[in-house]
Amino acid sequence: MKTTAQVAVIGGGVVGCSVLYHLTKLGWSDVMLLERSDLTSGSTWHAAGGFHTLNGDTNMAALQGYTIRLYRELEDLTGMSCGLHHVGGVTLADNRDRFDMLLAERAKHRFMGLETEVVGPDEIAQIAPITNTEGVLGALYDPLDGHLDPSGTTHAYAKAARMGGATIETHCMVRETRQRGDGTWDVVTDKGTIHAEHVVNAGGLWAREVAAMAGVYLPLHPMEHQYIVTDALPEIYERDSEHPHVMDPAGESYLRQEGRGLCIGFYEQPCRPWAVDGTAWDFGHELLPDDFDKIEDSIAFAYKRFPVLERAGIKSVIHGPFTFAPDGNPLVGPVPGLRNYWSACGVMAGFSQGGGVGLMLAQWMIEGETERDVTAMDVARFPGWLTQEYTRPKVIENYQKRFSVAYPNEELPAARGLRRTPMYDLFDQMGAVWGAQFGLEVPNYFAKGDEPRSETPSFRRSNAFAATAREVATVRQGVGINEVHNFGKYRVHGPNARAWLDRIMAGRLPKPGRLSLTPMLSHKGRLIGDFTVSCIEEDTFHLPASYGGQAVHMRWFEQHEKPGVNIENISDSLNGFQIAGPKAGLVLQAATRADVSDMRFMDVRKLTIGMAPCIVQRVSYTGDLGYEIYCDPMYQRHIWDVLWNAGQPYGIAPFGMRAMMSLRLDKFFGSWLSEYSPDYTPAETGMDRFIAWKKDTDFIGRTAAEADRPTRKLCAFVVQADDADVQGYELIWLDGAVRGFCTSGGYSHHAKASVALGFLPTQSIAQGLQVEIEILGQMRPARLVTEPLFDPDGARMRG
Ligand SMILES: Cc1cc2nc3c(=O)[nH]c(=O)nc-3n(C[C@H](O)[C@H](O)[C@H](O)COP(=O)(O)OP(=O)(O)OC[C@H]3O[C@@H](n4cnc5c(N)ncnc54)[C@H](O)[C@@H]3O)c2cc1C
C-alpha cells in the first residue's frame, strides 16, 4: 500500500468516489481513497438511485443539474454503465402554496438553463397515467428526473478516478487521523499509516466517528428510510415506455417504475433517527427490519393517489439509514478550526448531489475557491457550538419537511430558544414574533393587540404587513430601537492589525474614531464579505458584518492569520442596540452626559450611556439617522432602560427584522448573500465604490477586481405588484426575452411601493427603463429607478 499521498479520502461511497474522480479531473493524481470494506458499503448500496434537480437553493439546484448531466460523461469515459433511466418526472401540487412554490422554482430553473415546465392536470394524466389527479392543481415536469444503478455509478466514478491516477484501497479501515505540526496528516489504517497533505472525510454513515478522530463534531445525523418495490403490474409492463417519476409532496412520497412494477418511498412523519449514540463499525450490508407501522398513513394516501398500488403485491422492502445535516443540504468544505481537513459529508441525495459535491470540493482544494457560491452546502454555515442534541431534532424536522412547501418567510420550530439575549423576556412581553438566525432568537416584528403571535408562512404578503408598516413609520417619523445581537462582530487588534486588515479588506481603513465600509474579496475577486470597519484605537478595530457568516469569516481570517494580529469573534460577547430615525440623535444625547452634537456620520466614539461604557458608531442600515451602541451584554438591560426612558418623549418603539429589511429597500441597500455573495463581484454590485484603488497595498483579489469588466449590473426597480413581492431569483423580462434576474425585494412601507433589486445587462440599464418581472408566474410591469425612495441626497443619514 502507498504510504504517502497528496490527499487521503476516507470512504468509498458515491460521495468519496466522486470527490476522488473530481480531484483527478482537476489535475491532482496523487490521491488515494481508503474504504473499510468494499466500495458502496455504507448507505450507497441500498439507495433507490433516483435523481432530480429540485432544491430550494438555486446553486444547489444548478449543481444537481451538473450531477445528472455528468453521468453520460462518466459512461463515455469509462465504458461502464451507470444504468441510467432518464424518464423525466413530475412533482405534484395540490394546493395554492405548493403550486406557488413550483412556479417560483420554475422561474429559477429558467435562469439556470434547466428546462422544467409547469403542466396542468390533463398533461399530468398523460405523462404519468397511474396518477389520480383529483384535487391536483398542476405539477412541475423535469425532463432530467430519472434513476440509475447506485453500485454501477459508484464503480464508474471509481474507475474514472483510477484512470486519472488515483489509488483505491478497499478493506482498509481508518482508525486514527493525527495532525503533524506542519499541518499534514498521518492517517492510521489497519494496513499501515499514510502520510497525506490533505484528508477528506467522506465517511457517510460513519462521518461523525471519522470526524471525532480529528477532534471535531460535524452536525449530521442518520435517519431510517424505507421504500417498497412491488410485483409486476400490467399498467406498467404493458406500456410502450417507462413510467416517469412522480413526486407527491402531499403524500410525502416518490414513485418510479422498477422493472415491471413500481418502487415507492416515503418521508413519513413518524420517522426515526438511527444510531443516536454512534454508528457501529460492524454495520455494513444488512438492512433494518421492515416497519410498515410508521408508513401506514403514507401508504393509505398513496393508495388514493396511485390506485394501482392497491392491487400490487410487495416484492421487497428496503429499509436503511442515511445521513442528513440540520437543513438537509450537504456539509462540504474546509472544516473550521482544522488545517487541510475537508468535509464531504451529510449528503442525503448522493445521486442528485454527489457530482456537484465532488466538483465543488475539488475546486476548493485545488484552486482555493469554488466557481459559485456554495454557502448552502458549506460546512461552516452552522455555528461551532452545535451539539448532537441540537442537531437531532433539526434533522428530524428536516426529514419530516422534506416534501413540505418551503416558504421564504418561514421560521422552523425545532430546537428553538437555546440562544437568547437578556432582552428576550422583555421583548416577548412586548409582543415579539420570533425568528431564528444562526440559532439565535431574533424579533421579526412586534404584534400588538389582537394580532396573532406568529407569522403565516406565505409566498405572498403575510400577516406581518401591518406590524411592519407600523415599525417602519416609527423609524421614519420618530425613533425605533432594536438589538444588535444578530450582527457578526470581530475584534482585530495588535501591532500588525492595520497592515493585516489592509491586505484582507479591499476598502480604505479608517483613522482612529472613524468607520469605513469595505468589501472583502476572494483571490478571484468575488465578494466574500461586506464589513463596516471601525477604528477604536490605532491598533484596535471592530468589524460588524453578517451574523450568519461568522464561521465562514473566521475560517477565512484564520487561514490568513499573521503574527502580531489577534482576531476574535466577539459576536455574542458584544451586544447593544441600534436607534434609528430623525429623533435618534436627541435620544442619544439624553442618554449620555457627553456632547454628541458634533458626532458626524461614520464617527465612532467611546461613550458612557447611563452608567455603562459603550462604543457608539453613527451609521445605520435603515438609511436614516442612526447610531449603533455596543456594550458588554451585562449592561444590556441597563442600557435598554436608559434609552427607553430617553426615547419616551419621541415615541420610541422597538422594530424587528421585517421592518429593517423594508427600510433598507428604500435606499436600495443590498444584503449579504442576496446582493452581496461569492456569486458576484464588486463591479457588478456597485461595491467597487468602496474599494480603495489608490492604496498601495496588494489587497486580496486586487488583480481580479482591476481586470473585472462586468457585463451585468445590479439595479433597483419599482414593481407594480399587488399581493406578492419579489423574494429572489425572479426573472426580469425585457422586450419579450429573459434578460436578468432578481436578487431580493419586498415592500417599501415608507414609499408604499414594491421594490426589487436585480441584475440586468450593463448596456440595457437606463433610468426609467420599463421591464417585466415574473412573480409567481405572473408578469409584473416594473420601472428601473436610480434615485433612492428615501433621503435621496443623504441629508437625513449624513446631516
Ligand atoms: C433507503 C434509501 C433510499 C435512498 N434513495 C436515494 C435515492 O433515490 N437517490 C439519492 O440520491 N439518494 C438516495 N439515498 C441516499 C444515498 O444513499 C446517500 O445520499 C449516499 O449513499 C451517501 O453516500 P456517501 O458516500 O456520503 O456515504 P456512504 O454510502 O455511507 O459511504 C461512506 C463510506 O465510508 C466508509 N467508511 C466509513 N468510515 C470509514 C473508515 N473509518 N475507514 C474507511 N472507510 C470508512 C464506509 O464503509 C462507506 O462505504 C437513499 C438512502 C436510503 C437509506
Q: CB of 84 closer than 6 A to ligand 1?
A: no
The 3-state DSSP class for residue 593 equals: coil
Amino acid 571: pLDDT: 98
Q: CB of 15 closer than 6 A to ligand 1?
A: yes
Nearest CA to ligand 1 atom 35: 11
Distance CA 607, CA 206 (A): 52
Choice from 176, 187, 199, 205 to test ligand 1 binding pocket (greatest atom count within 8 A of CB): 205
The 3-state DSSP class for residue 30 equals: coil
Nearest to 731 by CA among 675, 680, 764, 772: 772
Other C-beta atoms within 10 Å of 122: how many?
A: 9
Per-residue burial over 281-310, b if 16 or more Cβ lie within 10 Å, else e, is eebeeeebeeeeebbeebbebbbebbebbe
* Cβ atoms 543, 551 nearer than 8 A: no
C-alpha cell at 60: 444547489
Amino acid 799: pLDDT: 82
Amino acid 105: pLDDT: 87
Nearest CA to ligand 1 atom 21: 44
Spell out the SS3 assignment of 602-652.
CEEEEEEECCEEEEEEECCCCCCCEEEEEECHHHHHHHHHHHHHHHHHHCC
Q: CB of 357 closer than 6 A to ligand 1?
A: no
Instruction: Report pLDDT digits (tens) over 367-384.
Output: 999 999 999 999 999 999
The 3-state DSSP class for residue 332 equals: strand
The 3-state DSSP composition of the chain as helix, strand, coil percent (nearest 5) reads 30, 30, 40
Residue with the three cell numbers 395554492 = 96
Nearest ligand 1 atom, CA 37: 47
Burial zone of 569 (CB within 10 Å; 0-12 exposed, 13-18 middle, 19+ buried) = middle
Task: State the distance from the centre of ligand 1 to the C-alpha of 369, rounded, in angstroms.
Answer: 26
Nearest CA to ligand 1 atom 51: 47
Nearest ligand 1 atom, CA 345: 26
Q: CB of 203 closer than 6 A to ligand 1?
A: yes
Task: State the distance from the centre of ligand 1 to the C-alpha of 213, rounded, in angstroms.
Answer: 19
Amino acid 417: pLDDT: 96
* Cβ atoms 494, 566 nearer than 8 A: yes
Residues in the chain: 799
Read off the pTM. 0.96
* Cβ atoms 328, 154 nearer than 8 A: no
Q: What CA dihedral angle connects 696, 702, 706 and 709, to 10 degrees? A: -160
Nearest ligand 1 atom, CA 319: 1
Amino acid 199: pLDDT: 98
Residue with the three cell numbers 449624513 = 798
Amino acid 295: pLDDT: 95
Choice from 322, 332, 343, 399 to test ligand 1 binding pocket (greatest atom count within 8 A of CB): 322
C-alpha cell at 4: 504517502
Q: How far is CA 778 from CA 50, 694, 703, in A?
A: 32, 46, 42
Task: State the distance from the centre of ligand 1 to the C-alpha of 333, rounded, in angstroms.
Answer: 18
Query: Which strands form 612-618's sheet, in the order they lie side by side?
Result: 604-609, 612-618, 626-631, 575-580, 480-483, 653-654
Distance CA 120, CA 138 (A): 4
C-alpha cell at 292: 410498515
Task: State the distance from the centre of ligand 1 to the C-alpha of 44, rounded, in angstroms.
Answer: 4
Distance CA 677, CA 522 (A): 11
Q: For residue 509, what is the DSSP state?
A: P
Amino acid 285: pLDDT: 82
Q: CB of 352 closer than 6 A to ligand 1?
A: yes
* Cβ atoms 725, 461 nearer than 8 A: yes
Classify 610 in phi/psi space as left (phi over 0), alpha (psi -120 to 50) or beta: left
Distance CA 206, CA 278 (A): 8
Q: CB of 322 closer than 6 A to ligand 1?
A: yes
Nearest to 75 by CA among 83, 67, 66, 63: 83
Q: CB of 740 closer than 6 A to ligand 1?
A: no
Distance CA 55, CA 59 (A): 9
Distance of alpha carbon 678 from the chain centroid: 12
Nearest ligand 1 atom, CA 322: 53
Distance CA 680, CA 698 (A): 21
Nearest CA to ligand 1 atom 45: 11
Q: CB of 50 closer than 6 A to ligand 1?
A: yes
Choice from 67, 178, 206, 228 to test ligand 1 binding pocket (greatest atom count within 8 A of CB): 206
Q: How far is CA 125 from CA 119, 239, 244, 761, in A?
A: 10, 14, 11, 40
Q: Which residues of the chain, if any, have pLDDT below 50?
A: none
Distance CA 762, CA 786 (A): 14
Nearest ligand 1 atom, CA 281: 38
**Cβ contacts of residue 286 below 8 Å, gap of 6+?**
none
Helices 350-367 and 150-163 meet at what angle, rounded to 10?
Answer: 20
C-alpha cell at 114: 434547466
Of all helices (H) and strands (E), which one includes residue 156? helix 150-163
Nearest CA to ligand 1 atom 27: 204
